[in-house]
């Protein structure tokens, strides 16, 4: 008889738009094998999702009958098999219960659904006079939330190209808001007239004073953002700010507007930040400059733990 | 002896980034000839600005010694001859006095300067507690202001890819603010993830209810703009808004944020709108929805009249 540490309970895949990550997991969460590749939804469609998955399972010497749990964009309409959104507020049980079994293959592969916040049912988050959470979707982030083990009442921030702010209840996602900050930063710094004024390859955190000044400006007067963007261009014409500092100020201004908006939608006023790399530093600095209390969660382990929680529910009889 | 109506006093060129427009003008402003082309600053650089100008003057049978007044991007650093910015607040006399004579040619050609609002000298527009006008530039718009004959205390709005809000004093430009609204609308509707949700060729004013709802949303809560943009995407996934309505709502939201920002920077609270075509309809509708009083000025004649005013000062001894 082997110990639980050495016998895989399931395989778990975080299958996003541009990346694929697979683990073999013991029932207690022990990692028994891992694979990473760039075969995300966009590139896996051509060889086929099933072939990509089996190739990586083979490389890990996984048994033919090992069940697999999947989250992320592989479950979108453009993915492998659509796992329709469950509606917010969504309990963790409802999310795991919404997993779709991939048809017509012998292996038991379940894809977890995303969560939809539909128009009309989005609740008032901050009292009767505050703005409502808007129509919104998450897919993949719900699994991170399931893995983080956060207390009810926690506000979670997950930075990214589209950052997600998620109000977490008792084993439940109460509501959330997505901000297009990262995508807008990319567009403005590379495609707009500002590209003549900025160094798009500069290290924003190396110009932290400019970054923080931008956060404070964006946070204090979000309505001015469309004007303050052009001021970056004018400053460039006047030679009064370096291209690296201009990039840092742009990043800060957009983050300041995001944080001001998140404060209108989520009443918690303190936040758990789950990120890694440069985005972690940017958000932690910006949130601090805007006066928020910030706690930190382990972003790397979150999705794996959430996949295990989903697998334990889906494969309970295994 | 001919009448003043038939003898040209000068030629006047509005020479922008992508367009060229030339008039022969009598001393009283009578239009004695007109040429339009796409030979803006970007395309005129190759054949040469002088050659382009002379070719159009020849087509109008202008005398070899007829003086020419020019405004617009032809006077920028990347243009024909740089006419350095004059600083705001800038009197009309200072602007005309800042015209630069093109060297090394026999014809008397003067290029009017733009106006710069430099960092540090930008005044508080709305009292000690309000935000300051930011670093900013205009080039070409100052000449429109000179031609409009507005009363002191007027706030002028000139829509465009980069819209300009200009506080006008007594024959003087007191200050101004540029908003990158039009450029951001183009980027978001054609380059961002929203392009999957929008019809970029839809007629925004044909969906005026969606446009006005967007204006009201953007104006009421500018801080939420980065989130409400993503809601357009979610609405598209839910099938709850048509691609044409989504484009109209996007346009309205951005304009609502612009108007909220302009209200913070300019104390006038009523505005003279000088525009033509679709942008005129959009701005008039949006300003009305945001509760502004709107008067209308003739945008087409403005730059021509401003060029004449500049010419009368530059060529007074002619």
Report all structural domains of chain B as residue ranges with CATH numbers, in order of start.
Answer: 10-115+301-314 (3.30.420.300), 151-296 (3.30.420.310)
User: Would the CB atoms of A178 and B257 count as touching at under 8 Å?
Assistant: no
% of chain A beyond a pLDDT of 90: 88
Please name the residues in contact with A59: beta carbons below 8 A apart, sequence gap of 6 or more. A35
Give the pLDDT confidence score for residue B300 in this predicted structure. 79
Residue A224 is encoded by which pair of tokens? Answer: 């001015």
Q: Map B73-86 to HEC letters.
A: HHHCCCCCCCCCCE
For residue B179, give the nearest of A181, A192, A230 by CB distance. Answer: A230
Q: How far is CA A3 from CA A8, A90, A283, B63, B316, in A?
A: 10, 35, 41, 100, 99
User: Would the CB atoms of A264 and B225 count as touching at under 8 Å?
Assistant: no
Residue A25 pairs in a beta bridge with: A10, A31
Give the pLDDT confidence score for residue A161 in this predicted structure. 93
List CB contacts (< 8 A) between B245 and chain A: none
**How far does B246 lie from chain A, in Å, by closest CA?**
13
Give the pLDDT confidence score for residue A6 in this predicted structure. 76
- Please name the residue that has the structure tokens 């357009």: B232
- Report d(CA B268, CA B255) in Å as an integer: 18
Give the pLDDT confidence score for residue A2 in this predicted structure. 46
Taking a C-beta distance cutoff of 8 angstroms, is the pair B121, B136 a contact?
A: no
- Report d(CA B120, CA A231) in Å as an integer: 13
- Report d(CA A56, CA A50) in Å as an integer: 10
- Report d(CA B311, CA B69) in Å as an integer: 6
Taking a C-beta distance cutoff of 8 angstroms, is the pair A166, A156 a contact?
A: yes
Per-residue pLDDT of chain B (318 residues; tens, 9 = 90+): 445 557 899 999 999 999 999 999 999 999 999 999 999 998 999 999 999 999 999 999 999 999 999 999 999 999 999 999 999 999 999 999 999 999 999 999 999 999 999 977 655 444 556 799 999 999 999 999 999 999 999 999 999 999 999 999 999 999 999 999 999 999 999 999 999 999 999 999 999 999 999 999 999 999 999 999 999 999 999 998 999 999 999 999 999 999 999 999 998 889 999 988 889 999 999 999 999 999 999 887 999 999 999 999 999 864
User: Would the CB atoms of A179 and B254 count as touching at under 8 Å?
Assistant: no
List CB contacts (< 8 A) between A115 and chain B: none
Give the pLDDT confidence score for residue A267 in this predicted structure. 81
User: Would the CB atoms of A179 and B135 count as touching at under 8 Å?
Assistant: no
Q: How far is CA B15 from CA A20, A211, A253, B92, B159, in A?
A: 53, 37, 34, 19, 18
Give the pLDDT confidence score for residue B10 in this predicted structure. 97
Give the pLDDT confidence score for residue B76 in this predicted structure. 95
pLDDT class for A122, splitting at 50, 70, 90?
low
> Sign (positive/negative) of CA torsion A193, B231, B261, B273?
positive
- Report d(CA B215, CA B127) in Å as an integer: 27
| Mean pLDDT of the residues in chain A | 93
- Report d(CA A11, CA A32) in Å as an integer: 10
Give the three-class secondary structure for B37.
Answer: strand
List CB contacts (< 8 A) between A229 and chain B: 180, 184
Give the pLDDT confidence score for residue B298 in this predicted structure. 87
Kindly report, residue by residue over A35-46, the tens digit of the pLDDT.
999 999 989 999
For residue B221, give the nearest of A177, A231, A264 by CB distance. Answer: A264
Residue B174 is encoded by which pair of tokens? Answer: 């007191």
Residue in chain B nearest A120 by alpha carbon = B240
Give the pLDDT confidence score for residue B299 in this predicted structure. 83
Separation of first and last alpha carbons in chain B: 17
Q: Which of B130, B98, B93, B103 is nearest to B116 (CA)?
A: B98
- Report d(CA B160, CA A262) in Å as an integer: 31
Angle between helices B225-238 and B208-220 (to 10 degrees): 140
- Report d(CA B110, CA B100) in Å as an integer: 5
Planar angle of CA A278, A193, B166, nearest 5 degrees: 120
Planar angle of CA A243, A244, A249, nearest 5 degrees: 95
For residue B224, give the nearest of A226, A254, A261 by CB distance. Answer: A261
Average pLDDT over residues A262-270: 90
- Report d(CA B112, CA B192) in Å as an integer: 38
Q: What one-character-per-residue DSSP string does chain A give?
A: ---TTTS--EEEEEE-SS-EEEEEE-TT--EEEEEEES--HHHHTTT-HHHHHHHHHHHTT--TT--EEEESGGGSTTSSS--PPEESSEEHHHHHHT-EEPTTSSS-EEE---EEE-TTTPPBSS-TTSPBPPSEEESSHHHHHHHH-PPTTEEEEE-SSSEEEEEEETTEEEEEEEE-HHHHHHHHHHHSGGGGT--TTS-GGGGHHHHHHHHHHHHH-GGGHHHHHHHHHHHHHHT-S-HHHHHHHHHHHHHHHHHHHHHHH-TT-EEEE---HHHHHHHHHHHHHTT-EEEE--HHHHHHHHHHHHHHHHTTT-
Give the three-class secondary structure for B22.
Answer: strand
Residue A238 Cα to chain centre, angstroms: 39
- Report d(CA A262, CA B227) in Å as an integer: 8
Helix then strand then coil, % of chain B, to nearest 5: 40, 20, 35
List CB contacts (< 8 A) between B233 and chain A: 137
Kindly report, residue by residue over A60-82, the tens digit of the pLDDT.
999 999 999 999 999 999 999 99
User: Would the CB atoms of A264 and B230 count as touching at under 8 Å?
Assistant: no
Give the pLDDT confidence score for residue B276 in this predicted structure. 81
**How far does A119 lie from chain B, in Å, by closest CA?**
8
Q: How many CB atoms lie within 10 A of CB A206?
A: 11
Residue B71 pairs in a beta bridge with: B14
Number of A/B CB contacts below 8 angstroms equals 157
Mutation for testing the B interface, residue in A180, A251, A283 having most B CBs under 10 Å = A180
């Amino acid at each position: 008889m082997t110990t639980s540490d050495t016998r895989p309970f399931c395989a778990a895949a975080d299958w996003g738009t541009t990346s694929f990550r697979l683990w073999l997991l013991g029932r207690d969460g022990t990692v028994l094998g891992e694979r990473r590749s760039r075969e995300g939804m966009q590139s896996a469609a051509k060889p086929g999702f099933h072939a990509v998955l089996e190739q990586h399972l083979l490389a890990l010497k996984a048994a033919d009958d090992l069940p697999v749990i999947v989250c992320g964009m592989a479950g979108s309409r453009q993915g492998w098999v659509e796992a329709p959104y469950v509606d917010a507020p969504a309990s963790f049980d409802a999310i795991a219960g919404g997993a779709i079994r991939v048809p017509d293959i012998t292996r038991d592969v379940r894809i977890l659904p995303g969560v939809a916040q539909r128009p009309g049912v989005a609740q008032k988050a901050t009292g009767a006079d505050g703005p409502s959470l808007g129509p919104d979707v998450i897919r993949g982030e719900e699994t991170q939330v399931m893995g983080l083990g956060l207390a009810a009442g926690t506000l979670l921030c997950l930075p990214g190209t589209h950052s997600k702010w998620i109000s977490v209840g008792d084993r439940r996602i109460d509501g959330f808001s997505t901000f297009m900050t990262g995508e807008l930063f990319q567009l403005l710094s590379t495609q707009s007239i500002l590209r003549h004024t900025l160094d798009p390859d500069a290290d924003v955190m190396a110009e932290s004073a400019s970054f923080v000044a931008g956060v404070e400006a964006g946070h204090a007067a979000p309505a001015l953002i469309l004007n303050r963007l052009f001021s970056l261009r004018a400053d460039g014409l006047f030679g009064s700010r370096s291209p690296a500092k201009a990039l840092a100020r742009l990043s800060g201004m957009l983050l300041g507007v995001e944080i001001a908006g998140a404060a209108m939608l989520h009443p918690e006023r303190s936040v758990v930040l789950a990120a890694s790399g440069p985005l972690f530093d940017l958000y932690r600095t910006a949130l601090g400059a805007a006066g928020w209390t910030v706690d930190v969660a382990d972003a790397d382990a979150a999705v794996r733990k959430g996949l295990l929680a989903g697998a334990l529910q889906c494969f309970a009889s295994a």
